[in-house]
Amino acid sequence: MAQTPPTTVRLPRLFITNSAHQACYQRAISNTTSPTIQSRMPSREATHAGSWYSDHEPTLSSQLEKWLAQVPDELPGIGRLPIAGARVIIAPHAGYAYSGPCAAWAYKALDLSKAKRIFLLGPSHHHHLSTLALPQLTSYKTPLSPDPLPLDTDLITHLLSTTSTNPHFTTMSPPVDSAEHSLELHLPYIHHLLRTLYPTRAPAAYPRLVPMMVGSTSPATEAAFGALLAPYLADDTNAFVVSSDFCHWGLRFGYTYYVPGAPVPAPALPISYPKLPVPAAPSTTTTTTTTTRGTATGAAEARAASTRVRWRRIQGRSAC
């Protein structure tokens, strides 16, 4: 009797809610290696390219250039972009059809001229953790170049050995890393800015990345990691990119909250201020998501970033 050939199962791309895909994802996680940085491991692939954004280099480059060009070169009350010294931004991580033009406003304001390292904080959508996770891999690929963007493995190793926070840093396995989109969706913009800034450099010589996956963290955990990372924020050779979709509104998210009346506007934060004020009340992000039961993704890392600002009253400018 002839043997039945093995069945090939084709899973829908990037839909982790699909039961078959979820089962495959869970099996991959259970088979991961020990939580260390794997120097011989391949680069992280651009797993969401071709669906969440273009995997065709000329098309992707053209889109990024178009969206950045749509942002004015100069803004009233702010001046020319990028804002000199603006090295902290908050930008969305949805598919580029939804978030690409919006993210361009943040990235056009970002000043990477002095950056030697770029911290990238994004929320975990699929993998449960209550701390911050760092990559095991050493570089991240984008469709913009065959050469990947380098990670700061020395700093990542140092942070993993740090015991001053409880809970400590952990690692994200390569399958967990590959499944998450909140970090990857920022890589093309970062890559594009760096190759524009350094046209003669190979990607290996770019400022190195420190990606961090942020779990469901408590206020105490956010404060602890904020204190730990505060010295890096105070160093003007470090840039920070916070990945956050401020609001998922609609029936599909179970969130259709309406503000009953016009809220009183919050006082504007000056573009340039010698010492950033220390807020006496919880952050707006905390208050809004708690009061309205909102579904912001990235709220934790946004709060952690604001905690770092409160810990270090830094001089300079921010673009959010």
Q: What percent of the chain has pLDDT above 70?
A: 67
Beta strands in the chain (DSSP E): 74-75, 79-80, 88-91, 117-123, 132-135, 139-142, 145-150, 170-172, 208-214, 238-243, 272-273, 316-317
Among 184, 103, 185, smallest CA distance to 139 is for 184
Can you give the pLDDT at residue 269?
A: 52
Q: What percent of the chain has pLDDT above 90?
A: 56
Q: Cβ-count burial of 209 within 10 angstroms (0-12 exposed, 13-18 middle, 19+ buried)?
A: buried
Q: For all residues of the chain together, what is the average pLDDT? A: 78
pLDDT for 237 beyond 50? yes
More confident call, 113 vs 125: 113
Rounded Cα distance, 16 and 21, in Å: 6
253 pLDDT band (50/70/90 cuts)?
Answer: low
Any idea which architecture 52-255+269-317 has in CATH? 3-Layer(aba) Sandwich (3.40)
Mean per-residue pLDDT, 180-203: 97
Q: 17-30, pLDDT tens digit by residue?
A: 444 444 433 443 34
pLDDT for 296 beyond 60? no
Can you give the pLDDT at residue 319?
A: 42
Q: Cβ-count burial of 207 within 10 angstroms (0-12 exposed, 13-18 middle, 19+ buried)?
A: buried
- Angle ∠(139,151,309) on CA atoms, nearest 5: 140
Candidate ranges 3-12, 27-36, 187-196; pick with highest mean pLDDT: 187-196
Least confident of 64-68, 193-197, 257-261: 257-261
pLDDT for 45 beyond 90? yes
What are the structural domain ranges in the chain?
A: 52-255+269-317
166 pLDDT band (50/70/90 cuts)?
Answer: confident
